[in-house]
Amino acid sequence: MIRRLIILLLIVGCVFAKDIIAVLELEQKGLTKQEAEILTDRLITKLISIGKYQVVERNNMDKILKEQKFQNSGCTDSECAVEIGQLLNTDFIVIGSVGKFGSTYSIDSRLIDVAHGKSLISAEFSKKGEIDVLLTTGITSIAQQLCGLENTPQYTETSDFVDMKSIEELGNQLEALEEEKRAADLKADVIRLQNLEEQLEASEKEVKNIKEKEYREKLKTHTKVLRDGKNVWVPIDRLAGNPAHLELIGDILEEKDRDGNTILSGEFKNVGDKRADLVKIIFSFRTNWQGDTKKLTAIIYSDTKNKQYDLDFPSENSILPHAIGNFEMVIPRSFGKFIGYSWDIEWKENND
């Protein structure tokens, strides 16, 4: 019975026994010895926490090597590592280096099979930044790679570059979206302004039409006369025998025809009680800012048939009391450009 129990214990021990591993101090390249020792201690701690191997404590390893009078400092090749592994009676031994190149920190490590003197697993880590990244991230990655829990990363530098490029692209996309939003907001503001201008123009036109309509209606029964330097409305029936007088109804209209000629037109009402003969409207066109002018004259007809004559050309046209006359002046393109105009109206009163 006892014999069977011993055999069973031996079998269980074989099944659950862990391979023994030792970690040599990482060789420093561009780092201090103290930094290399700290990173070596952290690698031992990570391997113990993973639990795949039975790790020889560093103090025990130094004690055994001291007893064997073996100096392990500077041992970086596999042949030296195998020799130390044999002295320590381990299955595997870890060697490696930690260094800095430019702004990039790196760790390189190998798992050596002591019995066969061959490298079984290689592990590497590199990253730009501060040295802290080796302690916080790099050693963990190396320990997992040595335990077969993580694949050896390829071109970590390139991966970092890709990440930075992605960040830059995201920044550019964000900037483009912000610019697009600003353009959309500006376009919306322009559209709102155009709508407001259209509404204002429509309102002004509506007010103008209402005022013109009211003005026309009032001209049927009233007229304006000058009293104390002011034009005032006076009922027509109170001005019996009032001389002929012509008032502009509304505004003078300006438009272009197909040939590019400018057309001015409008209506006048004789608000007096006398007939107005030889009625004409004289325009003075300002052609520049120096004050030069040109004049044109149009005849006002009560039958809306208009003719245009040179200045002082006589007309026998007449507008009866309270009647409305019309004019239309065609300014040819050959007349040239003008920056503004003024007008005056002339007539002769008929006393018959």
CATH of the domain at 33: 3.40.50.10610
In this structure, the answer to whether residues 41 and 155 fall within a common structural domain is yes
Q: Is residue 244 a contact partner of residue 306, using CB atoms and an 8 Å limit?
A: no
pLDDT of residue 237: 61
Q: Do 234 and 341 reside in the same domain of the chain?
A: yes
Count of C-beta atoms within a 10 Å radius of residue 80: 17
Cα separation, 23 vs 112, whole angstroms = 10
Write down the pLDDT at residue 164: 57
141 and 237 assigned to the same domain: no
Q: What is the pTM of this model?
A: 0.41
For residues 150 and 40, membership in a common domain is answered with: yes
Same domain? 138 vs 47 = yes
Is the pLDDT score of 10 beyond 70?
A: no
What is the pLDDT, as a whole number, of residue 201? 84
- 167 domain-assigned: no
The pLDDT score that the predictor gives to residue 306 is 40
145 and 243 in a single domain? The answer is no
Angle at 351 between CA 235 and CA 317, to 5 degrees: 90
Q: Are residues 139 and 252 in the same domain?
A: no
Q: How confident is the model at residue 305 (pLDDT cuts 50, 70, 90)?
A: very low
CATH code, 298: 2.60.40
> Which candidate, 330, 212, 348, 211, places its Cα nearest to that of 263?
330
Residue 52: CB atoms within 10 Å: 16
| Portion of the chain with pLDDT greater than 90, in percent | 24
Q: What is the pLDDT of residue 204?
A: 82
In a domain, 112, yes or no: yes
Does residue 283 carry a pLDDT above 90? yes
Does some domain include residue 82? yes
**Pair 232, 320 in one domain:** yes
Please say if the pLDDT value at position 107 is more than 90: yes
Q: Is residue 239 part of a domain?
A: yes
Same domain, residue pair 22 and 147: yes
Residue 32 pLDDT greater than 50, yes or no = yes
Q: Are strands 54-55 and 20-23 parallel, antiparallel or unpaired?
A: parallel
Amino acid found at 172:
N
Same domain, 232 and 341: yes
Q: Tell which of 159, 177, 197 closes a domain.
A: 159
Alpha helices (H) along the chain: 2-16, 33-50, 58-67, 78-88, 132-133, 139-146, 156-219
The whole-chain average pLDDT of the chain stands at 80
Q: Of 117, 137, 159, which one is at a domain's C-terminal end?
A: 159
80 against 97, higher pLDDT: 97
Q: What HEC string does 43-58 produce?
A: HHHHHHHHCCCEECCH
Question: Is 270 within a domain?
Answer: yes
- Same-domain status, 237 and 154: no
pLDDT tens digits for range 308-348 = 434 344 445 788 888 888 899 999 999 988 989 999 988 88
The predicted pLDDT at position 351 comes to 64
Q: Which of 159, 193, 211 is the last residue of a domain?
A: 159
Residue 64 inside a domain? The answer is yes
Show the CA angle centred on residue 138, arms to residues 132 and 140, nearest 5°: 115
**pLDDT at residue number 211:** 78
> Which residues fall within 8 angstroms of residue 158, CB to CB, at 6 or more apart?
none
The answer to whether residue 304 scores a pLDDT higher than 60 is no
> 244 and 346, same structural domain?
yes
pLDDT per position as a tens digit, 40-64: 999 999 999 998 999 988 888 878 8
Closest CA to 277 of 221, 309, 323, 237: 323
The answer to whether residue 214 is domain-embedded is no
Residue 327 included in any domain: yes
Strands 27-29 and 54-55: unpaired
Please give the residue range of the domain that contains residue 27. Answer: 18-159
Provide the domain count of the chain.
2
142 SS3 class: helix
